[in-house]
Structure 1
Amino acid sequence: MPRDQFEERQHEKTRLDIMTAIGHDLLEEIQQAVANVTGIAFVTVDYKGDVLTETTHFCNYCKAVRDNPTSLLLCKLSDASGAIIAATNKEVSIYICPCGLLEIAIPIIVDGHYLGGFIGGQILCDDVPDTIVRLSKNMIPGGQNLIEHDVSTSKPEDLADIKRYSYSEVLSIAKLVEFIINQLTNHEIVSNRNKQKNLKRIGTLELKLRDIESKLYSLQTELVRYKRYVDIVRNCKLLDVIDSLSILENAPTTEAAILEYTHTLALQHDSWIEATIKEECSRIGTMVNLLNYREDCHTTWNANVDEALWHCMVPAYGIWQYVQQIIENAHQDGHNEISIMLHTEIQGNQVSIFLENDRIALDSDELKLLQDVLQKNTPVIHEDISEQGLSLLSKSILELQQMFVTQYSVSIHVECHHKSYGGMQVKLSYPLE
């Protein structure tokens, strides 16, 4: 492609648009107002010469001339010629059309760019200077064969609705309209630029807000972990006392439960930021063993993990807190038993963790709402969860997703599905690094 054509195309892409700058409705309002005050016919064209607005105050004489297709072509060429002269000189162009009426082409220029123009006229003027150009019907092929249209030979009644102005009055009208249009155009351009700047500023602030919300969520998570660590230390001291009492009182079941709980606390102490899948599953198994000392609900826990993934890191207590919530829901709903299973799959560089249970599931409406929130993949403020009508089980799934995003800055995809025989499946998919 030649360089000049390439530059022209680039210029087309960045060219200011008169319709964007001012707007169709406002253009027609201005055009109508000026036409009403002056009685002069007006139409607005873009930089290519294409008509943008409805014509206003066209006289009967010009309407009759334009009824002939060939004469109409001559009139359009006359308008285009005036617009081209105005665009070239970047100033008001005054000329006489082939029929002898005075015409005005007022360019609309912003930042040195010609956007289009106001084409007005159909004026009778008795003192037009000799320097004003009169366009000829010979402008078009075969123009010499056209019927001669000239206002000087027309009947007075045919020109009754045409305004008559002196040349100085025409100049004043042209300057006034030029001033109004250019002032308005520049105002609209500045307004649009300020709007774009403000929108860009708002976008930047929104990004900063998201970043702050994400950092706030991370700090809240860290605070919870620190509090958990303090609780671990406190509980270990208390359990040491209770364990001693259980031995003295010969209570083997109580002692076994205390040892399980102590083991849970020890695992928490080892790593409370991140853990391998193997460590996370071990913690869940210890928790399940401890909770099974309750007689009202028995939990079966199975973990089927590919050996290649045993040492894959996950956020500590992310999966754990979800499993705990499932067991708590089963207990609250009065289930005597529940089966929970974790298994994994690897496809290329993508790892998937499946969490399934055979009793607990979200209702269809909440499941749909949860999927909508998960797809946004943005930090969830705890106060927003209750406002959205999400349960603690949904909250545990959202926290699981957010812990992966916060801990590893990876894009994690979470899906939730009802199982045909009861219960629910949660699938976590993320890139394996």
Structure 2
Amino acid sequence: MELERLQEKRKNDFFSLVQVIEKNGKEICKKSKDSSYYLKELMDIEKLEQLQEQFSKATGFAFTVVDFKGDEITKRIGCSEFCKGWRAEKENRKVCNFCDTYGRLESIINQKPNIYRCPAGLIEVTVPLIIKEQYLGAVLFGQVRCTEEDGIVNIGRFIQCEDKRKSNSMLMENYEQTSIVSYKKILSTIYLIQLTLCRMLEKEADRKALEEENKRFMAEMIAKKIRAEMEKAVVIAELKRFKEQMNPYLIVDALKTIENAALTERAEKTKEMAFLFSEMFKYTIENTEGLIDLIEDIKQIERYLQIQKIRFIDKLNYSIEMQGELEKQKIPPFIILPFIENAVEHGILVKKYGGTVRIRVYMENTDAVIEIEDNGVGMAEKQMKEIFPSHPEDYEKDFIGISIQNIRKRLIYSFGFQYDVQMTSKKNAGTIVTIRIPCDKKDRLFF
């Protein structure tokens, strides 16, 4: 009678211990609930069960996975016949559930795997799944025998079930048939789970974090695009107001008058420059928004180069090569000319004997590529970083570089960061600028 009272007291003490542990573990579980990662979101349950089955086949242990609340999210794999029979009794099942809770919460509090011997005499292990300091759940495995004692907590000292097990011949037979494993194999299985499952979860967490970062980046890009469009609308409104106050075609007519006068006076260069400038001005006022054919922008560039060629004669040479199928490719207006101006004014004309600007337009995969190359004075690395920072938002200068950074922003907002302008330069060797435009409309964010 005294022995029974002692056993009952130990059992109650164990249940009280579990409740204390549970109380201490609730705060950690609450933090997990409020955090950003969930086991079910990071790993597909079907895939998790397949992995669990492979673990069971490789090791001979029974497996299941629980979430941060302790709810099973996978089916129990490899459950031993002894445990099936043992859990058939309500009282035994209650003890087993308390043991599972104890093992799980101890592993949470201590932040490491918990190995214990259950009241029925079998080894159970809880491996916490902790990713980026957040507890996601745990892998429970075991249902084997082990003759070693070191490193294993014996819950059997609280609840004596040996007599109950021995009194049932079927249970005893199943118990004797349960595998005996070494403590070393238990540790190896823990290592296998941590190496495989925890790293997979960490990789998925990193992927999710990157995905969220990309979403935030795209949201920022959209916000900047909206802001840019608003700024553009203000500029267009100002331009329209200017047009209402003064008809810009009067300037074109004035240039035509100068052209006719130059013709009468046989001033051929003056006549040609007036004509080219009037065409440039007319192009500018007619293309303040929307998209244009690439060939039209190339014609505008050629007018500019012709004017400069008349002014500086042999000091400037240029060539333009363009694949015919790209003539109708749509692009935002005025994204090429600032780079040509920069090449001529800051690369070629400051050079003692001048140089050449070469423009190539060609297809590469699904992109139209505009390449501007000059053999001018080029730039040292420090100067290059000033005029062309890694991100256009970082630019704070107040000369031609501003227009370059605005073009970079327009391209990024319109097509994505992968369509930022590329620029390389070398002192006393020249500069190469590469602009890419997606030919496929589905690659465009806003056009």
Q: TM-score, normalised by structure 2?
A: 0.44
The structure whose Rg is larger is 1
Q: TM-score, normalised by structure 1?
A: 0.45
